[in-house]
Amino acid sequence: MELEEMKLAWNDLSKRVEKQEILNQQMIEKMTKDQFQSNLKKIALPEYIGTIICYLGAAYLSVNVPKLEEPLIQFFGVISIALLLILPIISLQSIRGMRKINLSSHSYLETIQIFGQQKIRFLKLQKLNISLGLFLLVIGVPVLLALQGKSLNPTPLFWMLYFPLGVMFFLGFSYWVLKYYNRKLQATEKLLTEVNE
């Protein structure tokens, strides 16, 4: 009798341990998924805010560019509007690619590989956005000056000091943002690799 009771107790204990392991695994997966989504939200939020700003800028230019008289400045205005509409699309598509990664439908190794591919894609598209943003800065300044009724040949101080400082600020800010995004992506990748171990 005692042997039979011990077998039953052992089986019951084994089932409880298995159930506990399953619950622990599910909790780890949920925590990983939550942290994964949290890190991506920290990247997505500034991009959503930037999208709103770009679309407001495009709307402002759309209303005011037809008022410009010089054809070259109108052309720059149209290009600026196009860039303000395209930049957020590129950015949001790159974020969407990472958010679509389903942690539960792939093995951890596949998830890490897919994330690595999406991370590289995201960073390449962000660098493209920086290049296009710099181009927008260069062609947008004459448009904004013309909309304000200012001469396109402002004081030499503008082109020799203010404009280069603006470009340096833009590049510095872009570098800082890329560094922040890279840090968040590395933390997310580390999270995924730690779960795999």
Tell me, yes or no, whether 123 lies in a domain: yes
Buried (b) or exposed (e) across 167-191, using 16+ Cβ within 10 A? eeeeeeebeebeeebeebbeebbeb
Residue 8 domain-assigned? no
Q: What's the structural domain count of the chain?
A: 1
Q: Which residue has the tokens 């710099």?
A: 134
Domain contains 192: yes
User: Residue 85: pLDDT band by 50, 70, 90 thresholds?
Assistant: very high
Does residue 29 lie in a domain region? no
Mean local confidence (pLDDT), 29-55 = 86
Burial class (CB in 10 A: 0-12, 13-18, 19+), 71: exposed
Question: 193 vs 125, which has greater pLDDT?
Answer: 125
Distance (Å, rounded) from C-alpha 55 to C-alpha 88? 8
Q: Are 173 and 92 spatial neighbours (Cβ–Cβ below 8 Å)?
A: no
- The packing angle between helices 108-147 and 71-99, to 10°, is 160
Contact 83, 53 (CB under 8 A): no
Residue 117 lies in a domain: yes
Tens-place pLDDT, residues 178-193: 999 989 888 888 877 7
Within a domain: residue 4? Answer: no
Please give the Cα distance from 197 to 181 (Å, whole number): 25
Q: How many CB atoms lie within 10 A of CB 83?
A: 20
Tell whether 46 is covered by a domain. yes
pLDDT reported for residue 128: 93
For 70, the 3-state DSSP assignment is coil
d(CA 110, CA 107): 5
- C-alpha torsion angle, residues 171, 176, 182, 185 (rounded to 10): -130
- Domain holding 101, by residue range, is 39-196
| Domain annotation covers residue 21 | no
**Which pair of structure tokens corresponds to residue 42?**
């920290």
